[in-house]
């Protein structure tokens, strides 16, 4: 395997790791942000919804930007900005300062998520085997590190500025150095080798099953990231320190599932893996909704992570594999940017939906809504079946289990 591809794969994994740390530090300390700025329970869902809306805008803009510049440049530029936005969110004193910082976080994280997954899909095409789950495993590892730092901050009663500042001072140089070795499809050996591109347009209809699955998965994921701490503390009566752990154990099981997930895809195919993940994730939501106490709730979040972890990476990979324009050219970059918007649709719908049902009825019942939507993924699992790869040179290459 080309050394440049190996270096690109390692550097992109570092970028996923950094983003996992940053995102976990934000979402696991939402109660602390709420207390710092005096955000009411009624206003909190508005703040939580604004971030994915702006992230969706960022992803749409990225679809247009990568027609003119490489995704590698987009990723190098936006990742430090995401880190700085985190520090801004934890350092202000007025509500408007929090709003500005979260707005910056949202718009830049949209470009970050889109460009990272563009590079991941193009590298998977170049490798010719499933590696996307490995990148998302690095994200999960970063999430574990970030959630652990958040626990330390809660345990020692550190201010958000003290927690976020030194962390970002370390992460930004790491991200900048890793960016030197990013590889996209043009840098490898042209669009033919990597199987991806951004110049054409992709029809929405061909992406619709993947868009729905992405939204369902992120409704489930946003339930964990935005509400697990509050659910464990308020509904299951856990301590403040314990309330930082559900996201941590969730990320541990997503790491474990993603670490072996590529092997599962190569052995059994994407359809079987997505079906398995959907059933396991739904079972986890049932345990969370019926848990008599905080520790049983933790078990539910653990099971949930093991199921949800495989769905999103496979959705990105499948969309890139099926993305062809009217000329028959692969346009995976455009497809990934468009699909990534439904990441934020899931967050936009999931967080207010769970909050509204929880306030109107109770949060236990609210947990059954993402359970039903994750199960609906089973209706679209067949769409993850492989199609023969087209390489732009007039021939196709069949594979027993095509994952690239």
Give me the residue spans of the domains in the chain.
Answer: 3-182+197-384
* pLDDT tens-digit series, residues 285-297: 999 999 998 889 9
Contact indicator for 140, 251 with CB cutoff of 8 Å:
yes
**pLDDT-wise least confident of 12-16, 58-62, 95-99, 185-189:** 185-189
Place of tokens 């940017």: 337
Q: Is the confidence at residue 362, as pLDDT, over 50?
A: yes
* pLDDT tens-digit series, residues 123-165: 988 888 889 999 999 998 998 899 889 989 988 999 999 999 9
* CATH topology classification for 3-182+197-384: Growth Hormone; Chain: A; (1.20.1250)
Per-residue pLDDT, 48: 78
Q: Is the confidence at residue 76, as pLDDT, over 60?
A: yes
Distance CA 45, CA 358 (A): 12
Per-residue pLDDT, 204: 62
The winner for highest mean pLDDT among 20-29, 95-104, 242-251, 359-368 is: 95-104
Per-residue pLDDT, 201: 57
**pLDDT-wise least confident of 167-171, 214-218, 319-323, 378-382:** 319-323
pLDDT band at 330 (very low <50, low <70, confident <90, very high): low
pLDDT band at 54 (very low <50, low <70, confident <90, very high): very high
Distance CA 92, CA 153 (A): 17
Per-residue pLDDT, 16: 97
CA angle (337 as vertex; 144, 112 as ends), nearest 5: 40
Q: What is the mean pLDDT of residues 59-64?
A: 93
Distance CA 385, CA 272 (A): 9
User: What is the full DSSP assignment across 34-97?
Assistant: HHHHT--TTTHHHHHHHHHHHHHHHHHHHHHHTTTS-HHHHHHHHHHHHHHHHHHHHH--SHHH
**pLDDT-wise least confident of 125-134, 200-209, 211-220, 303-312:** 200-209
Q: What percent of the chain has pLDDT over 90?
A: 55
What is the rounded average pLDDT for all residues in the chain?
A: 85
Per-residue pLDDT, 193: 39
* pLDDT tens-digit series, residues 221-230: 888 877 888 8
Q: Is the confidence at residue 248, as pLDDT, over 80?
A: no
Q: Is the confidence at residue 300, as pLDDT, over 80?
A: yes
Distance CA 162, CA 150 (A): 11
Q: Is the confidence at residue 187, as pLDDT, over 60?
A: no
Element (H, E) at 258: helix 245-268
Q: Is the confidence at residue 83, as pLDDT, over 60?
A: yes
Q: What are the C-alpha distances in Å from 199 to residues 39, 84, 120, 334? A: 43, 31, 18, 8
Q: What is the mean pLDDT of residues 192-203?
A: 49
Q: Which of 210, 227, 214 is nearest to 321 (CA)?
A: 210
* pTM summary value: 0.83
């Amino acid at each position: 395997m080309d050394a440049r591809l190996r270096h690109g794969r390692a550097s992109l994994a570092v970028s996923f790791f950094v983003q996992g740390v940053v995102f976990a530090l934000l979402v696991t300390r939402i109660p602390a942000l709420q207390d710092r700025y005096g955000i009411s329970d009624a206003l909190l869902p508005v703040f939580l919804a604004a971030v994915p809306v702006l992230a969706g805008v960022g992803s749409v803009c990225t679809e247009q930007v990568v027609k003119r510049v490489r995704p590698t440049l987009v990723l190098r530029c936006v990742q430090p900005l995401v880190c700085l936005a985190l520090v801004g969110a934890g350092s202000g004193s007025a509500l408007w300062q929090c709003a500005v910082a979260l707005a910056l976080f949202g718009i830049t994280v949209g470009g970050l998520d889109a460009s990272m997954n563009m590079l991941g899909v193009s590298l998977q095409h170049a490798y010719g085997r499933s590696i996307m789950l490995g990148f998302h495993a690095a994200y999960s590892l970063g999430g574990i590190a970030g959630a652990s730092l958040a626990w330390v901050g809660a345990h020692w009663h550190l201010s958000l500025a003290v927690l976020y500042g030194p962390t970002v001072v370390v992460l930004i140089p790491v991200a900048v150095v890793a960016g030197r070795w990013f590889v996209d499809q043009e840098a490898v050996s042209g669009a033919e080798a990597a199987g991806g591109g951004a110049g054409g347009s992709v029809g929405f209809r061909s992406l619709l099953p993947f868009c729905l699955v992405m939204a369902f998965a992120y409704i489930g994921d946003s339930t964990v990231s935005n509400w697990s701490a509050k659910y464990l503390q308020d509904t299951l009566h856990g301590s403040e320190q314990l309330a930082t752990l559900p996201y941590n154990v969730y990320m541990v099981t997503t790491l474990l599932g993603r670490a072996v997930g590529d092997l599962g895809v190569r052995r059994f195919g994407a359809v079987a893996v997505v079906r398995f993940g959907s059933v396991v994730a739904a079972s986890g939501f049932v345990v969370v909704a019926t848990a008599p106490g905080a520790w049983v709730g933790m078990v539910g979040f653990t099971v949930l992570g093991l199921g949800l972890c495989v769905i999103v990476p496979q959705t990105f990979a499948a969309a890139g594999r099926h993305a062809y324009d009217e000329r028959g050219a692969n346009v995976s970059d455009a497809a990934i940017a468009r699909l990534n918007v439904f990441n934020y649709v899931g967050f936009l719908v999931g967080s207010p939906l769970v909050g509204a049902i929880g306030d109107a009825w109770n949060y236990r019942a609210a947990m059954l809504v993402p359970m039903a939507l994750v199960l609906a993924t089973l209706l679209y699992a067949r769409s993850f079946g492989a199609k023969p790869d087209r390489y732009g040179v007039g021939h196709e290459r069949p594979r027993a289990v095509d994952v690239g």
